[in-house]
Amino acid sequence: MAWIPDGTFLMGSDRHYPEEAPVRQVTVDGFWIDPGPVTNREFDRFVRKTRHVTVAERPPEAADYPGAKPEMLVPFSAVFVAPRHRVSLADPHNWWTPVPGADWRHPQGPGSSIRNKPDHPVVHVAWADATAYAAWAGKAVPTEAEWELAARGGLSGAEFAWGDELSPGGDWMANTWQGEFPLQNTGEDGYEGTSPVGAFPANGYGLFDMIGNVWEWTSDWWSARHGPDMPKACCIPENPRGGPESASYDPRQPDVRIPRKVLKGGSHLCAPNYCRRYRPAARHAEPVDMSTSHVGFRCVVRARSS
């Protein structure tokens, strides 16, 4: 694991999406972090030792999903499927497909496999799968502040984990999407889907794939906006843990009572024409029961006991 020294840093961004604002000072104690997202090989070792069955492999309980049609209560996970024609970017259902039988061993659904992807990040893991793995490994899932401090790689206020240009000198620094999302994936960076951990350069802390490849779970509950900046040293938040669970629900779906966690880092599906979330400040709300083909996680070990 890599050591991230404690420090006060500028978290968030005022230049992009509203949920990243405001930029504010935050203090985080030093901690150890995995140099890359958990890979299929690592997750396989965990499953063989513990017989863990992921959320995507279990049928949803009818009681948890009132009103759900019986045919929906089969194990499934969300797979990105490129539409054949140009679609509205307002509705993610145009490219997210619930696929029965899609899970971490079958990332595109039945018939697909991870045989040639031992070093790719594990995907189709829900929040409970990430925490089960972390507990088994004697680790924890990072807070959003820990994750963002690590992603910044020692640079203060930079747009990207490597500086202020998306592809400096034409070099791709992370696995993102080139071309017109979601129709055309040119794979100019070498990968249309996930990539082996380590295929792109490490950041200043020696960490791979903080940006792109797969989104990563954090332990903070989602909040639509960060707290205010506290200019006086007395009041800079220390080791912030995000907002309350009760504020994390999706206001557009008042009937759905599934709390949401913060995802960080963007994925191979983040594209300039749709979702410019391939930056340390970027964040995304993910329901805890959700698993998809572009979300994974990595772990930390805290020096402090909390």
The C-alpha atoms of residue 243 and residue 258 are separated, in whole angstroms, by: 15
Angle between the 40-50 and 127-137 helix axes, to the nearest 10 degrees? 80
Of 275, 288, 295, 299, the one binding Cu ion (CB under 5 A) is 275
SS3 content of the chain, % helix, strand, coil (to 5): 20, 20, 60
191 touches, from Cu ion, Ca ion, none (C-beta below 5 to 8 Å by class)? Ca ion
Q: Which residues bind Ca ion (CB under 5 A)?
A: 175, 189, 191, 209, 213, 265, 268
Among 38, 158, 263, 270, binds Cu ion (CB under 5 A): 270
Position among 24, 120, 261, 277 found at the interface with Cu ion (CB under 5 A): 277
Based on CB atoms, which residue is closest to Cu ion, 211 or 270?
Answer: 270
275 contact, one of Cu ion, Ca ion, none, CB 5-8 Å limit per kind = Cu ion
268 binds, among Cu ion, Ca ion, none (CB under 5 to 8 A by kind): Ca ion
Q: How far is CA 69 from CA 72, 204, 228, in A?
A: 5, 49, 43
Ranges of beta strands (E only) in the chain are: 2-4, 7-11, 24-28, 31-33, 76-80, 96-100, 215-221, 260-264, 283-287, 295-296, 300-302
**Is the CB of 207 or the CB of 275 nearer to Cu ion?**
275
Enumerate residues 199-258 that contact Cu ion by CB under 5 A. Answer: none
CB 263 within 8 A of CB 208: no
- For Cu ion, which residue has the nearest CB? 275
Any contact of residue 132 with Cu ion (CB under 5 A)? no
Q: Site residues (CB under 5 A) for Cu ion? A: 266, 270, 275, 277
